Amino acid sequence: MGMDFSTLRTLISRYCAGEENWVDSRTIYIGHKEPPPGTEAFIQQRFPDNRIVSSKYTFWNFIPKNLFEQFRRVANFYFLIIFLVQLIIDTPTSPITSGLPLFFVITVTAIKQGYEDWLRHKADNAVNRCPVHVVQHGKIVRKQSRKLRVGDVVLVKEDESFPCDLVLLSTSRDDGTCYVTTASLDGESSHKTYYAVQDTKAYNTEKEVDAIHATIECEQPQPDLYKFVGRINVYMGNESVARPLGSENLLLRGATLKNTSYIYAVAIYSGMETKMALNYQSKSQKRSAVEKSMNAYLLVYLCILISKAIINTALKYVWQADPNRDEPWYNHRTETERQRHVLIRAFTDFLAFMVLFNYIIPVSMYVTVEMQKFLGSYFIMWDDEMMDEELGERAVVNTSDLNEELGQVEYVFTDKTGTLTENNMEFIECCVDGHVYVPQVICNGQVLPDAVGMDMIDTSPGPDAREREELFFRALCLCHTVQVKEEETVDGIKHGIHQGKSTSFYISSSPDEVALVEGMKRLGFTYLRLKDGQMEILNREDEIEKFELLEVLTFDSVRRRMSVIVKANTGELYLFCKGADSSIFPRVVSGKVDQIRARVEQNAVEGLRTLCVAYRHLSPEQYEEVCHLLSDAKLALQDRDRRLAEAYDLIEKDLILLGATAVEDRLQEKAADTIESLHKAGMKVWVLTGDKMETAAATCYASKLFRRSTQILELTTKRTEEQSLHDVLFDLSRTVLRQHGDMTRDTFSSFSGDCTDYGLIIDGATLSAVMRPNQDDLNSGNYKEIFLEICRNCSAVLCCRMAPLQKAQIVKLIKASKEHPITLAVGDGANDVSMILEAHVGIGIMGKEGRQAVRNSDYAVPKFKHLKKMLLVHGHYYYIRISELVQYFFYKNVCFIFPQFLYQFFCGFSQQPLYDTAYLTLYNISFTSLPILLYSLIEQHINMDILKKDPTLYRDISKNSLLRWPIFIYWTILGVYDAIVMFFGAYFLFDNTTFTSNGQLMTTNTQMMFGNWTFGTLVFTVLVFTVTFKLALDTHYWTWINHFVIWGSLIFFVVFSLLWGGIIWPFLNYQRMYYVFMQMLSSGPAWLSIILLITASLLPDVLKKVIWRSLWPTTTERIQTKRRCLTSEPSTIFMLSQTSSRLSF
């Protein structure tokens, strides 16, 4: 009863006494042991098992679920309705004509998606059946991963992956640490250090671990890989000790144990609740501008279809109003049908006309577009020029839906570090109290040995300065999270670090830290290791100094600094702090601030990355206070991050400035050339970085984002302190508008020499003020608009000191502006993910900051330079190809169905089909589908070398220029014209008829059998040849494949027609096409008519092109003309034939 009352009291206190924070936590009992009586109630919670499910379907729900998903697409649903109408009412065409193409589309898509899901099932089973070692009753038991439960204690050995999210209890290492790589989670191959719980790290055997009596309280699962808040209560007798748990104690599923023999850990999140599984969430679907145009055109054609059906229905009843024109006797209309209400009859007729004309909506276009995008994406992955030999990586396509969007980019947002630069840091110099130290001194062209490699640029330091200098070096050797690789194999022999400094090497998640520690090593202070909580340093005299590591105040992007608290052998306590100058200088109370600030600014202007170093002596009392502050913050389950930030803020103050460091991050190969090409192509390039303004600006100059002639406009905190934000914005606005007036962005982006070239620099704090202006400021409402107006008139923009979320905000702001430009974001780190997901197209760089950006991107490339070919060549080709595909599909369907509409005027609106069922069904599936698919895969209207050399050609296709309404209307009118020529041309051939001796009705001028199927076949033959020749005239890049497919599809049509009409097919209940095609071909005048009608159909389009190219040629057309003139040169012929033979796309 006492236990029941205790349970009730706990529940009431948790859920009713205002402790809402407990609702968001979970309690885990290690080894499923109940806590000692009187400590807390034992409430066993239910958690999911450890199965991972990444598949969408099961065996039972695949068919209904897949069909539901496919019929959510408007086009599929529309054709399903048409098919059902054909089944239900008496329609003029067979249900097969709609059902077969729809069945084909649905089946192909279902097979593709089913196969992909089967692969996911296979991968899931492999993971879920993986063996895991679990401690039970003091013994190791082996079980399948899927049977693992929250609370189980797991043994993991070196090089094994963690089966679920675990809290580290103990390790094979005495100091309770283990090393882990998280390559499969965030791509970082560096070794990260994780720490066992202080009170359990001594338990190293199964029996000892099984004896642990503890509970863990932690937050509910959430997807942030780098955040974890919890506490562990370890029971010793009737007393419990609470310890904080953070991300440094949490081992994530998918990570791998390294350099540690084994670990024991307890499962806290399993299965689909692990952080890895929670990050499976799919990205929001991005739609390209072409897809939006396609849908708009589809709506127009749907309106045309409905209009045609309404007109024909109305005219039918007008026609039948005359009693003499009522339906003929052979239609066998029953009396019931005659008595039916006129509205019902009209509606049925309307549906019948809808079915008759429904082929104007091209269902096969969607399949062709899907295939074009899917197959076309392989050309990016196969491109040898976009392969990096050093990394051994090729370009990756994560989504093929946006291929053509690569040809429409107007704004490029790029990260700096690791994207424009190599993220390969090299220590250049350090400055201590105004004295500058360079690791290697060049004297008479020779590099002096590292041991004496110090260059005192200023006057030599005195004894006090010598002490400060060594303190600075020690600070950099201690204030970091670098690991030392303890031994490496050299010539098959293992060498430890004591055998020579050169054999040790450092590992860290930050390249800056490695560069700084290696820089100190070259200046005489070598960091050796962290062992048993002691950090060891080898000083210049080859003496080992030991410092006890008491606390690490980890780096975060908000504070932009990190600190350590250490205790020297003498018992002195130090706080060493290093960070960005903007976060260190305000906290400094003494030191040579002016000299160091001047040096930092000078280094920043040269494009070097700078960090400042400071320290503070701590008395034992101050240290006790620090411990108390940190302990309270770390034990908090709610708002731990905020409370830790407040504690760090209180601790990292009253610092004494020691000096600063400068590290160089070199510009990537051809980064400047790429940016220059993007500018010439009419794109605006923005650099979004977390770096300080001077460093970022120097990189922008080096990468030719800013030119020496560029007039820099600053919208920074420094300027807004002197003037109000309102005044600064209006000043800048007046400056740019006075120069450009009403000049458009396109005119400006051509960089004519008469214009002043403007570049804008804005920092994160000012951007926040622009985005969220002060409510009290009455003039603040239009800050965003003024800011956008300034940006529009600048050739380049640099945003520095940016938080990751601000990068996404900038992209969103530009996306939502009135022009709605197409944006592209490119980055290499986890801090770029939000920006990559926000942009229309996201590109990840395979850099050194992990693979999170690559995993979340739409496309990934090894280096920034590959962006040039991806946009200027692949993007250009994809857009040209798909725009022709879309326009051509609508054109050929207008040509196909408009004669059917005209035919109704000559058959009493009786819904009589013009074409045979086989022709209706196969027109889009077989006769005209392959040539346009091949065109959309391999067409090259201009040689790729020319596209790379002349980026201005990209402007010809900008702003969706090939899918604008005037061009769409031109294609539609062309289709209507061709249809009229085909129909009336054939009609006039059948104008005069006469009876032959055997009673057949023949045309007098062509000696063809007179009949509706002969007439329809003649129109259809002209149609197939006309639309195929139209595509052939539009093709610029001919290969043997083009010839084979284009002429092959025409031959297939002829052969099919001969077979279809030459044999009496037993499975058909009609033989209306028997001998029709052959009889038509036996007429000489029919052949001549076909040739004349094809010529008359194509002639206006050819004339229009010739006139337009002569009078108003585009840049692209000029180059095509010039290229044709050069084809007579042998070298050019050879080059083109080589290109054709290897099909290099």
Annotated active-site positions, please?
415
Closest CA to 581 of 514, 468, 659, 650: 659
Q: Which of 535, 539, 566, 538 is nearest to 552 (CA)?
A: 566
Cα(678)–Cα(1088) distance, integer angstroms: 53
* Beta carbons of 645 and 558 less than 8 angstroms apart: yes
E-strand spans in 433-497?
A: 435-437, 442-443, 446-447, 483-485, 487-490, 493-496
C-beta atoms surrounding 1126 within 10 Å: 12
In order of 149, 353, 637, 793, 894, the CA distances from 911 in angstroms are 68, 6, 74, 59, 18
Q: Which of 478, 440, 461 is nearest to 613 (CA)?
A: 478
Q: How far apart are CA 899 and CA 904, in angstroms?
A: 9
Give the separation between CA 631 and CA 644, rounded to whole angstroms: 9
Strand order in the sheet with 796-800: 396-397, 859-861, 841-845, 823-827, 411-414, 684-688, 796-800, 758-763, 711-715
What is the DSSP code (8-state) at residue 924? Answer: I
Task: Find, among 575, 595, 599, 598, the residue nearest to 587 by Cα.
Answer: 575
- Alpha carbons within 13 angstroms on the beta-carbon side of residue 813 total 21
Query: What DSSP character marks residue 450?
Result: G
Burial class (CB in 10 A: 0-12, 13-18, 19+), 1015: buried
The DSSP output letter for 361 is S
Per-residue tokens: 984: 């009336």
With b for 16 or more beta-carbon neighbours within 10 A and e for fewer, the 413-429 pattern comes to bbbbbbbbbbbebbbbb
Which 3-state string (H, E, C) describes 795-846?
Answer: CEEEEECCCHHHHHHHHHHHHCCCCCCCEEEEECCHHHHHHHHHCCEEEEEC
Q: Which residues contact 376 (CB under 8 A, 6 or more apart)?
A: 400, 403, 878, 881, 936, 937, 1145
Q: Locate all alpha helices (DSSP H) within 89-128, ordered by sequence.
A: 96-128
The beta strands (E) that lie in 370-450 are given as 396-397, 411-414, 421-432, 435-437, 442-443, 446-447
C-beta neighbour count of 756 within 10 angstroms: 14
Q: What is the DSSP letter of 923?
A: I
Backbone phi and psi for residue 927, each to the nearest 5 degrees, phi listed first:
-70, -35
**Nearest residue to 373 (alpha-carbon basis) of 860, 854, 878:** 878
Q: For residues 692 and 829, what is the distance between their CA atoms, to the nearest angstrom?
A: 18
DSSP string over 866-879? HHHHIIIIIIHHHH
DSSP 71: T
993 sits in the region (left: phi over 0; alpha: psi -120 to 50; else beta) called beta
Report the alpha-carbon distance of residue 652 to residue 559 in Å, rounded: 10
CB atoms under 10 Å from CB of 946, counted, come to: 16
- Tell me, what DSSP letter sits at residue 214? E
Helices and strands (H, E) in the chain, number of each type: 39, 40
